[in-house]
Copies of this chain bind each other. A is one copy, B any other.
C-alpha cells in the first residue's frame, strides 16, 4: 500500500495513469511522446507504477505495451480511505463545534 501512495504522489505518474485510462496498450515511446520529459524519465515513472502494481506490461516483440491496473487504487479506497468516508458525519460535528468556537473567538 505504501508503494501505491508513493506512486500516486507524483503528478507525472498520475498523468501516465490518466493516459493509460484513456487508451490501454500504449508503448513507452507513445506515452513519452506527449510528456514534457525524456523517454528515460518516463521509463522510470512507469517502473515505479509497475512496482506498485498500478501498471502491468506485456512485451510484443521489441515493444512494451502498458496497461492500467486500477485494482490497487480500489484497495486503498476500501482499506484506508473508507474509514474516513464513514467518519465524515462524526467529523462534521467535530468541525461544526470547532467552527462555532472559532466564531466565538473572532467575534
Binding site for B on A (CB under 8 A): 2, 5-6, 8-9, 11, 14, 17, 21, 24-25, 56, 58-59, 65, 67-71, 73-74, 77, 80-81, 83-85, 87-88, 91, 94-95, 98, 101-102, 105
How many chain copies?
A: 2
When A and B form their complex, which 3 residue pairs have the shortest distance between CB atoms, in order from nearest?
A: A9-B9, A70-B84, A24-B94
The answer, among B59, B69, B91, for a CB contact under 8 Å with A68, is B91
The interface residues of chain B lying within 8 Å CB-to-CB of A5 are 8-9, 11, 14
The interface residues of chain B lying within 8 Å CB-to-CB of A69 are 91, 95
Q: A58-B102, A65-B98 are in contact. List 6 more A-B contacts (CB 8 A).
A: A5-B8, A14-B80, A21-B87, A56-B95, A69-B91, A70-B88
